[in-house]
Amino acid sequence: MAVNRPITARSEPILTWTLGLLALVPFLAGCYVAIAFNGNIADRTLEWLVVYASTIVSFIGGVQWGLQIAEKQARLVGMSAAVCPALIAWVGVMLGVMWGQTWSFALVLSALVVAWLADENGGRQGWVPGYFLTLRRTLTVIVAACLAVVGGAALFG
């Protein structure tokens, strides 16, 4: 069956790009909702996007762990750095609950950038494939823009 076919060096970038682009759907939907409803529910939209972005940041950390282990380049600093963005995002979600969306939005966006910088470092260290860095840059820019649009609508109306 085609679903169980092994991923090859040729198909891996295609699959990675396809799944990465599909992961953008909630962010793009959030932008649509924030704009289409004139910011009336942008604060709620920002809440669910922040939680989803936190999940994505955690996933990225897991990918970083896997890449380092697969390349036999796992080091304490690299493995620890892969966990930091998820912890920053978690604090962001908790602060959003306690003190409002400004803190939440800022910390989760920061966590996303820190995770991207860790991938850039992985590219320099040789444990991140080149096509993956291009994908990460593209996805990070789109996600950051979506968060900025929804955050702007929620915070500034």
In tens, the pLDDT along 60-71 reads 988 888 888 887
pLDDT at 4 exceeding the cut of 70: no
8 band by pLDDT with thresholds 50, 70 and 90: low
**According to the model, what pLDDT value does residue 9 have?**
57
Cα end-to-end span (Å), the chain: 51
Q: Which residue do the tokens 């282990």 mark?
A: 69
Distance separating alpha carbons of residues 132 and 117, to the nearest angstrom: 13
- Classified as helix, coil or strand, 127 is coil
Residues 113-148 as b or e (16 or more Cβ within 10 Å = b)? ebbbebbeebeeeebbbeebbebbeebbebbbebbe
For 16-40, the pLDDT digits (tens) are: 899 999 999 999 999 999 888 876 7
In this structure, what DSSP letter does residue 7 have? P
What span, in angstroms and rounded, lies between the C-alpha atoms of 35 and 139? 21
Token match 């940041």: residue? 57
Spell out the domain ranges in the chain: 50-157
pTM (two decimals) = 0.86
Encode pLDDT of 91-132 as tens digits: 988 888 788 777 888 889 999 998 998 889 888 888 788 888
pLDDT value at position 122?
84
| Cα–Cα distance for residue pair 21/27, rounded to 1 Å | 11
